[in-house]
Amino acid sequence: MDRNFKWKVGLTVILSIYLILYTVPTFLGEKTPTWYKHISESKLKLGLDLKGGLSLVYRVEVEDAIVAKLDMIADDINTRLEKNKIELKQNAYANEENLTVSFEIAKDEQKADAKDFALSVHSALVVDEESGNKYTIKFNSREIKEIKKDAVNKAIDTIRRRINSMGIGEQEVVRYGDEEMYSIEVRLPGLKEEDFNNTKEIISKTAQLEFKVVDDDSDVMNQINTANPETPAGITYVTSSYLVDKTGESVPDRFYKTDDIVEADPIKRKALLQKAHKSIENFVKGKAPITHKFGYQLVERGTTHYYRTYLLKKKTVLTGEYISEVGALVDSRNNDPYVSLTFTTIGAEIFERLTDENKHRRMAIVLDDMVDSAPIIQDRISGGRASITLGAGNYKEKVQKAEMLKILLKAGSLPASLTKGEERRVGATLGESSIKSGEFAMAIGAIFVLGFMMIYYRKAGVIAAIALTLNVFFIISIMAFLGATLTLPGIAGIVLTIGMSVDANVIIYERIRDELDAKRPPISAVKYGYEKAFSAIIDANITTMIAGFILYQYGSGPVQGFAVTLIVGILSSLFTAIVVTRMFFDYATIGKKVEKLSI
C-alpha cells in the first residue's frame, strides 16, 4: 500500500477515536470522571421537550414605548414650529402621567397655524385639550393599540436575538396570554443555575443607550437640597467641583451618599443599592424642569457608595439605534476592559455636530437610565467612535460586563422595560414514557436497517453498519462541540440523515455490483462504482443541505434545531459513506489479488 493511503487511514482512525471519546460526557452525564475533562467536558444539551428547563413570564411595560414615541413627537413639533417661525411660550414636552404632549404658543394670532403644524407631525395625533394658547395632544386609540402591539412583537424579536447570541439553542419566546396582557413567555432548556441567572439578567436589561447634554448652569440641585428636611434617611447630599482643563471653569460635582453597605452577598448588596437609588428618585421626583430629568452614576469606594447626580436635558440627541459595530476590548494602557462603539454614517454626523455645538459641556452616556460616564467635550469629535467604561469591579467582572453589554447592544434595545412575573421549572414536555417510546422506536429502527444491510450486502453491509454507527457518534460529538441543543425534531433530523447515509451506501454498492456484472475486476469495480455514485450522492445531499440552511435562517426554536442536526448529519454522512467505507474497500483490494467481493 502507498504511503498516502496509510496517512489517510491513520488520520481517519485518530479522528474517529477522538470523536467517539468526545461523546462520553454526553452518555455518562454526571457520572463522567473528573479527570475526563482533559479529554472532553462538552455534553450534548437536551431541549425542553426532552429534559425540561425554565419558564419565565415577563410583562412588557408598553406605556414606556408610548412615552418614547411621544418624546420624539415633542421634538418634531418643536422643530416644525421653529422652522415655521411659530414663537413658543413653552416648548412641547411629553407628559408621562397621561401620555400626552403639551406646548404653549406665545402669540394669539399664531394659534391656528401652530395647531395645524403640530398635528401634521403624525397622522394619528388628535387634540386632547385646548386651553387658551396651550394645547395638549395625544395619539388616537387605534395608534396606541398598534404601538403596544408593536412593542410586544419587538420585545420578542430582541429577546430571541439576545438568547441566540449567547449560543442557547432551542429556546422558545412566545406571546403569553391574550393580547391585552402584553406578556411574553421565555422557555429555556435545562441550563446550569449560573447560566439561568446570566440569561435572566441579559433578557431583562432594556439596553437603551442614550447621549444627553448635562446642564451645569442650572441651580436646581442646590435649591432641592439646601437644608431640606425631606432628604431620605441614610442618604447624605455631598457637593464638590473640579476644573475643566482647557477653560479653567469650575464644574459642580454633586452626589447622594448612602450609609456604608458592608453586605458581602452581591445579590443582597445590589438590592440595598437599588433601594437607596429608589429613595433618591422618589425624593427628587417632579422637582426637575419639564425639559430636564435627573441622571445617576454609581460610584463605589469600598463600602461607601455615591450616586453622582446630573441634571440632564431631557431631549435625547443620539441613541443606540445609530450604532453599527460594538466590541468588547481591553485598554492596553491600563489593562482596563471597555466597550467600543462605532456609529453609522448618519450617527457619526449627528455625533460630530453634537460635540461641535456643546464644546466644554459635559455629555452623559446613559445606559438603562444610569449614567455610565459624563466626559467634558473638549473639541469637536469626528470619526463616529465612542467608548463605554465599566465602573468598579475586578478584571473578571469587567470582562463579563463588557461581553454582556456587547450582546445587549448588538441585539438592540428593548422598546419598553420588562417586569418579571411568573418563574417556574418545567419538566420534559413529551413526558418520560413518550421519550422512552421514542428511544425504543429509534433502537428498533436502527437494528432493522443495520440487519437488512448486513444480510443483503453481506460483508459490505457490515462496513456500512460500521459507517452508520460512526455517523451517529460524529453527529453527537459535533453538536456537543457546537453547543447545540437536541430536541425531538433534532432526533428526527438524525434519523433522516441516517436514512440518507444508508441511501448513499445503497447507491455505491449497486454501482459496484453493476461494474462487477460488467466483468470488471474487484479493484476497478470499487474505483468506478464510487466515481459513478459520487455525483448522485452529492446532488441529493447538497439540495437537502440548502433546505436545511433555509430552515435555519427563517425558522426558530425546534425548526432551527432540526435544521442544525440535518446540516451536521449530512456533512457527517458524506464523510462516513464516501471516505470511511471507501477506506475499507481500498484496504481489502489495493495491492491484493482479490477474485471476488462480498457484496
73 shares its domain with 29: no
- Do 576 and 473 belong to one domain? yes
Q: Are residues 445 and 311 in the same domain?
A: no
Q: In degrees to the nearest 10, what's the CA dihedral of 97, 316, 283, 251? A: -160
What is the rounded average pLDDT of the residues 180-187?
89
Give whole-number Cα distances, 432 to 261, 428, 437, 438, 479, in Å. 48, 7, 9, 10, 23
Q: Are residues 362 and 225 in the same domain?
A: yes
pLDDT of residue 490: 81
Residue 419 has pLDDT above 70, yes or no: yes
Residue with cell string 419587538: 154
Residues 445, 570 within the same domain = yes
Segment 27-34 mean pLDDT: 80
pLDDT higher than 60, residue 374: yes
Count of structural domains, the chain: 3
pLDDT tops 70 at residue 392: no
**d(C-alpha 220, C-alpha 250), whole Å:** 17
Q: b or e along 578-591 (b: 16 or more beta carbons within 10 Å of the residue's beta carbon)? A: bebbbbbbbebbee
Q: Is residue 394 part of a domain?
A: no
Are 350 and 223 contained in the same domain? Answer: yes
Instruction: Note whether 222 and 324 are same-domain residues.
Output: yes
Give the pLDDT band (50/70/90) at residue 246: low
To which residue does cell 418624546 refer? 71
In this structure, are residues 548 and 568 in contact, taking their beta carbons and an 8 Å threshold? no
Statement: residue 244 has pLDDT above 60: no
Q: Which of 141, 173, 202 is the last residue of a domain?
A: 141
From residue 511, alpha-carbon distances to 461, 462, 515 in Å are 15, 18, 6
How many whole angstroms from its chain centre is CA 582?
A: 43
Bridge-based pairing of strands 53-60 and 88-95 is unpaired
Q: Is residue 105 part of a domain?
A: yes
Q: What is the pLDDT of residue 247?
A: 55
Q: Pairing between strand 336-343 and 88-95? A: unpaired
Give the model confidence (pLDDT) of 451-486 as tens digits. 888 888 888 889 988 888 888 889 888 888 887 778
Burial of 506 (0-12, 13-18, 19+ CB in 10 A): middle
pLDDT of 585 reads 86
Alpha-carbon distance 411 to 199, whole Å? 14
DSSP run (H or E) holding 254: strand 250-258
Side-chain-side CA neighbours of 261 within 13 Å: the count stands at 24
Q: Is the domain of 35 the same as that of 77?
A: no
Residue 426 has pLDDT above 60, yes or no: yes
Query: How confident is the prediction for the chain on average, in pLDDT?
Result: 84
Distance of CA 446 to the CA centre of its chain: 38
Report residue 386's pLDDT band, with 50, 70 and 90 as the boundaries.
confident
Task: Confirm whether 476 is domain-assigned.
Answer: yes
Residue 169 has pLDDT above 70, yes or no: no
| Chain centroid offset of residue 137 CA | 37
Residue ending a domain, choose from 109, 141, 173:
141
* Side chain identity, residue 91: N
Q: Say yes or no to pLDDT of 237 above 70.
A: yes
- 150-168 residue pLDDT tens: 999 999 998 988 888 777 7
Q: What is the pLDDT of residue 151?
A: 92
| pLDDT of residue 434 exceeding 70 | no
Is residue 76, in this structure, part of any structural domain at all? yes
255, pLDDT greater than 90 = no
Residues 339 and 329 sit within 8 Å (Cβ to Cβ) = yes
> Would you say the C-alpha torsion 320, 326, 332, 335 has a positive or negative sign?
positive
Of all residues in the chain, what percent carry a pLDDT higher than 90? 9
Is the model's pLDDT at 248 over the cut of 60?
Answer: no
**Residue 56, in any domain of the structure:** no
Please name the residues in contact with 535: beta carbons below 8 A apart, sequence gap of 6 or more: none
Bridge partners of residue 137, in order along the sequence: 101, 127
Q: What is the pLDDT of residue 183?
A: 93
**What are the cell numbers at 329?**
476590548
Contacts 24+ apart (CB under 8 A), 149-155: 149/179, 150/65, 150/415, 151/60, 151/62, 151/64, 151/65, 151/182, 151/415, 151/416, 152/60, 152/62, 152/182, 152/184, 154/414, 154/415, 155/58, 155/60, 155/184, 155/414, 155/415, 155/416, 155/418
CATH of the domain at 466: 1.20.1640.10
Residue 393 or residue 447, greater confidence? 447
Decide if 198 is inside a domain: no
Whether residue 268 has pLDDT greater than 60: yes
Q: Which of 141, 164, 192 is a domain's end point?
A: 141
Same domain, residue pair 340 and 227: yes
Indicate if 23 and 105 belong to the same structural domain: no
Q: What is the pLDDT of residue 61?
A: 92
What CATH number is attached to the domain comprising 70? 3.30.1240
Grid cell locating 520: 470488471
CA distance 577 to 468: 8
User: 498 with 472, same domain?
Assistant: yes
- Lowest mean pLDDT across 60-69, 215-224, 499-508, 560-569: 215-224
Sheet holding 418-426, edge to edge: 172-176, 183-189, 53-60, 418-426
DSSP per position, 176-207: ESSGGG-EEEEEEES--HHHHHHHHHHHH---
- Among 77-81, 248-252, 414-418, name the one with the lowest average pLDDT: 248-252
Asked if 106 and 88 touch (Cβ cutoff 8 Å), the reply is yes
For residues 470 and 443, what is the distance between their CA atoms, to the nearest angstrom? 15
Question: What pairing do the DSSP bridges indicate for beta strands 363-367 and 485-486?
Answer: unpaired
Q: What is the CATH number of the domain that holds 243?
A: 3.30.1360
For the record, the C-alpha cell of 444 comes out as: 428498533
- Tell me whether residue 340 is in a domain: yes
Give a yes or no: residue 398 inside a domain: no
Question: Cα–Cα distance between 347 and 366 in angstroms, integer?
Answer: 16
Using the CB atoms, write b or e for 181-200: b if 16+ within 10 Å: ebbbbbbbbbbeeeebebbb
- For residues 215 and 221, what is the distance between their CA atoms, to the nearest angstrom? 11
- Domain ranges, residue 553: 3-45+430-589
DSSP bridge pairs for 57: 185
Q: Report the sign of the C-alpha dihedral through residues 572, 574, 576, 580, in that order.
A: negative
pLDDT higher than threshold 90 for residue 442: no
Residue 34 pLDDT > 70, yes or no? Answer: yes
For residues 76-89, average pLDDT: 89
- Cα–Cα distance between 495 and 448 in angstroms, integer? 13
What pLDDT score was predicted for residue 147? 93
Verify that 130 and 214 share a domain, yes or no. no
